[in-house]
Amino acid sequence: MTDCAGADGAAAEAGHLPVLVDRVLELFAPAVSNRDATLVDTTLGLGGHTEALLSAYPRLRVIGLDRDPDALERSRERLAPYGDRVRFVHTVYDRILDVLAELDIPSVEGVLMDLGVSSMQLDRDDRGFAYARDAPLDMRMDPTTGMTAADVLNTYSVDELTRILRDYGEERFARRIAKAVVEQRKRQPFDTSGKLVQLLYDTVPAGSRRTGGHPAKRTFQALRIEVNGELDILRAAVPAAIDSLAEGGRIVVESYHSLEDRIVKQALARAATSRTPEGLPVELPGHGPRLRLLTRGAEKAEEEEIEHNPRAASVRLRAAEKRGEDA
């Protein structure tokens, strides 16, 4: 999802590169090369990772999921040369098992998750994800449904706002900001990002801005996560993705902040741990680990890639392989 192009055409698209694409190809190779295989790209976006996978592995088919209809339309154009090797599904990615059931596919050889907001969404002024420019406070990844960021700011209580700013944005001044938001909306409801950014500049102490970056970064992250239910979806999606894998199938996940990475780490670790009760001298049949971890901790991008693709600076990649049912 995070390789999407902006709205300015080919020149902008060239600047939005799939993160760690060579490593993604390498990790999936044992499961999908030189064989008929199916992979689910759960966050298709503009399809940069999928394009690379289809090009590298000619017998691979990809099911591309995305909750953003605009992203799906753009990816259809980009991936048109691959014909029926790609199927496009408008859905949230925690529905992976439902999608596969509807397509009568019992299991797949690969699942890719490239988490977070896409470059395309950041670049679209009308989506309201970016704090660097004034825009309507929307932030919905699927703009056809659900509450907007403005709805959250204009209706949540101080306690509710404090919770999401603290838990999803890891914001030190969560309650101070929440109180300021509630006071401000009594005078005028929030409708654009510029008004929120100005409030944050006025509310967050100047000293913290010198060391903590832009004062709006954490608040915008928190609002986006709340509006889109990102962490709840991720908690459901990783176990579902593991269930969807065939023996020897692989899951690769790219996260971009610590909250996402923690959920992924814990889910993979649980599945890579024996289910045999402690104290038994032997592994019970069918109770062994379901996964074999393929990465030692979370892998990061090299400096050379970060220079060409600054968004790679925050990536954390984890991968695992499905073990046999008799493990």
pTM: 0.87
pLDDT of 13 reads: 42
Instruction: Tell me the mean pLDDT in the region 224-238.
Output: 96
Across residues 78-104, what is the average pLDDT? 97
pLDDT for res 217: 87
Digit-coded pLDDT (tens) for 240-279:
999 999 999 999 999 999 999 999 999 999 999 987 677 6
Q: In whole angstroms, what is the distance from residue 259 CA to residue 167 CA?
A: 9
pLDDT at 10 over 50: no
Show the DSSP H helices in the chain as ranges: 10-14, 21-32, 48-56, 69-79, 96-102, 119-123, 149-155, 158-169, 174-187, 193-203, 206-212, 217-228, 230-244, 258-271, 303-308
Lowest mean pLDDT segment, chosen from 63-72, 124-133, 158-167: 124-133
Mean pLDDT on 302-313: 91
**pLDDT above 80 (res 9):** no
> What pLDDT sits at residue 143?
86
> What percentage of the chain reaches a pLDDT higher than 70?
85
Tally of CA atoms within 13 A in the half-sphere of 245 that contains its CB? 30
- Among 126-135, 173-182, 186-195, 203-212, whose mean pLDDT is lowest? 126-135
Q: Is the separation of the CB atoms in 135 and 127 below 8 Å?
A: yes
Task: Please name the residues in contact with 180: beta carbons below 8 A apart, sequence gap of 6 or more.
Answer: 199, 202, 203
- Categorize the per-residue pLDDT at 6 as very low, low, confident or very high, splitting at 50, 70 and 90: very low
pLDDT band at 144 (very low <50, low <70, confident <90, very high): confident
pLDDT at 124: 53
> In sequence order, what are the beta bridge partners of 66?
90
Average pLDDT over residues 140-147: 89
DSSP state letters, 91-122? S-GGGHHHHHHHTT---EEEEEEE-S--HHHH
Res 95 pLDDT > 90 = yes
Would you say how long the chain is, in residues? 327
**In the predicted structure, residue 309 carries a pLDDT above the cut 50:** yes
Contact between residue 173 and residue 208 where contact means Cβ atoms under 8 Å apart: yes
